[in-house]
Amino acid sequence: MGLPEGFRWGVATAAYQVEGAAGEDGRGPSTWDVFSHTPGRVRDGHTGDVACDHYHRWPEDVALMAGLGIDAYRFSIAWPRVQPSGGGPVNTKGLDFYDRLVDGLLTAGITPAATLYHWDLPQPLEEAGGWMERDTAHRFAEFAYLAAERLAERVGMWITLNEPVVVMAYGYAFGIYAPGRTLMLDALPTAHHQLLGHGLATTALRSRGAREVGLTNHYSPAWAGDEGSPDDLRAASAFDTLMNRLFTDPVLRGAYPDVTGLGVPDMSAFVRPEDLAVIAAPLDFLGVNYYQPTRVHAPSEGGPLPFDMVDITEYPRTGSGWPIVPDALLALLRDLRDRYRTTLPPLYITENGAAFPDEVGPDGTVDDLPRIAFLDAHITAMRTAIDEEGIDIRGYFAWSLLDNFEWAEGYHPRFGLVHVDYETQKRTPKRSYGWFRDLIANDPSR
Ligand code: IFM
């Protein structure tokens, strides 16, 4: 089995999860700074203040990437570094950091793949309403324009948003991520405003010469608790509509899925008819992040959502307790192909990986065999999608290069191919690092 020529192997990170240097060189506060500094929000009070200190240690990290032999590095550009107040003039020092990083990557022969929004909204914008406000979409396009003006010629791939569903659901509906709002189904406008921001940013990026522009969504196949129960099947369909299709249909079909009967607010209150053409601007690629499927039951009487999520217990699990189901990756890739047949652009797996409680052993090594098994099984599923299903997949990015700040779980989950000792910032490549390096080196399509 061979991969298509030019297939990109990569690793991914995100600014707030790795950079640290939260108060340096004019960076302003983001929603995540405020959230993580609020007692009780993040496990053990961890914050991204220092994280992996990637802001200063990026040359060492780029050397680690070069050692892996990857083709592309997916990182994110922190909006609050570039526009500390979320609007207005550029903070030059903030963009200088990405300038250095991009040049360092190119020198190492690695294609920079920049995500513009990986959840670190400038706090002043949140105070003005955040993604509940339409204006945030316009501010985002302005930021995209500024980033592209400086970097478009050297960045090979641009990703506007990372996982807008997580921002809507965890950030604005359930309140477990920044900004910690608990609007439940009333958070729906945040989906539309992010997607509008994506569309406007796509145009802004291209106007400044950006080549490949895409959007990264999180996909979780919905499983009905009881396949024979019409109520559970309805719940699974509701989950699929609100968590998967809501973020793909408007982009690839120019229309929102039918949300009638799901208890959400009337979309005509915030969707203007002309918005859909903006959102549906053709993409160069669609980014797919996959971790696990979700099982749902019919909602309990008076529940706030049209589904109840329940644990999947019959599969082996990662250290985070997430079920390991590589077949669900294959299923979701098939679904994308079947649903969006004529308008589906080439796909990239922009994130896939697993946390395990890795420790450095007495001999100084980290023997993370479960991560190798996880990656191997998912890469095999991806290869089946390419070889047997003919799905156009152009790259795979492992999450993550480094152990890092895993949002509300702080530094506890370790997702990296490289172990980070947060006391000393020592990096120790895990066994999976060597495995991934060999996999790339032995890929006959390269
Ligand atoms: O760490 C996150 C990342 O920021 C977004 N996708 C899922 C990862 C693991 O939870």
Residue 120 Cβ inside 6 Å of ligand 1? The answer reads no
Element at 55 (helix H, strand E): helix 54-68
What value does the mean pLDDT take over residues 266-285?
A: 98
Q: Going from the N-terminus, what domains does the chain have, and what CATH number goes with each?
A: 8-441 (3.20.20.80)
C-alpha distance across the termini of the chain, in Å = 13
What value does the mean pLDDT take over residues 258-271?
A: 97
Compute, in angstroms, the gap from residue 415 CA to the centroid of ligand 1: 9
Atom of ligand 1 nearest to the CA of 404: 1
Residue 71 Cβ inside 6 Å of ligand 1? The answer reads no
What value does the mean pLDDT take over residues 171-191?
A: 98
Q: Is the pLDDT of residue 446 over 90?
A: no
Compute, in angstroms, the gap from residue 18 CA to the centroid of ligand 1: 12
* Ordered DSSP codes for 185-246: GGGHHHHHHHHHHHHHHHHHHHHTT--EEEEEEE---EEESSTT-HHHHHHHHHHIIIIIGG
pLDDT tens for residues 197-247? 999 999 999 999 999 999 999 999 999 999 999 999 999 999 999 999 999
- Over the chain, what is the mean pLDDT? 98
Atom of ligand 1 nearest to the CA of 118: 4
Atom of ligand 1 nearest to the CA of 400: 1
- pLDDT at residue 444, rounded to an integer: 87
Q: Is the pLDDT of residue 345 over 80?
A: yes
Compute, in angstroms, the gap from residue 325 CA to the centroid of ligand 1: 17
Q: Which residues contact 256 (CB under 8 A, 6 or more apart)?
A: 246, 249, 250, 267, 271, 276
Rounded Cα distance, 24 and 81, in Å? 9
Q: Is the pLDDT of residue 297 over 70?
A: yes
Residue 274 one-letter amino acid: E
Query: Ligand 1 pocket check: which of 115, 318, 399, 420 to mutate, most ligand atoms within 8 Å of Cβ?
Result: 399
* SS3 sequence of 155-199: CCEEEEEECHHHHHHHHHHCCCCCCCCCCHHHHHHHHHHHHHHHH
Residue 163 Cβ inside 6 Å of ligand 1? The answer reads yes
Name the residue with the closest Cα to ligand 1, atom 1: 406
Phi, psi of 191 (to 5 degrees): -65, -50
Token pair of 66 as six digits? 């070069």
Query: Ligand 1 pocket check: which of 351, 374, 378, 414 to mutate, most ligand atoms within 8 Å of Cβ?
Result: 351
Residue 403 Cβ inside 6 Å of ligand 1? The answer reads no
Residue 318 Cβ inside 6 Å of ligand 1? The answer reads no
Token pair of 374 as six digits? 């996880």
Atom of ligand 1 nearest to the CA of 17: 4
Phi, psi of 292 (to 5 degrees): -165, 155
pLDDT tens for residues 15-73? 999 999 999 999 999 999 999 999 999 999 999 999 999 999 999 999 999 999 999 99
The set of catalytic residues is 163, 351
Can you state the percent helix, strand and coil of the chain, rounding each to 5?
A: 40, 15, 45
Name the residue with the closest Cα to ligand 1, atom 4: 14
- pLDDT at residue 2, rounded to an integer: 74
Q: What is the pTM of this model?
A: 0.98
What value does the mean pLDDT take over residues 116-138?
A: 98
pLDDT tens for residues 157-178? 999 999 999 999 999 999 999 9
Residue 399 Cβ inside 6 Å of ligand 1? The answer reads yes
Per-residue pLDDT band at 1 (split at 50, 70, 90):
low
Rounded Cα distance, 178 and 160, in Å? 19
Question: By percentage, how much of the chain surpasses pLDDT 70?
Answer: 100
Compute, in angstroms, the gap from residue 406 CA to the centroid of ligand 1: 7
Query: Ligand 1 pocket check: which of 161, 163, 167, 290 to mutate, most ligand atoms within 8 Å of Cβ?
Result: 163
pLDDT tens for residues 403-415? 999 999 999 999 9
In terms of Cα–Cα distance, which of 161, 54, 53, 157 is closest to 110?
157
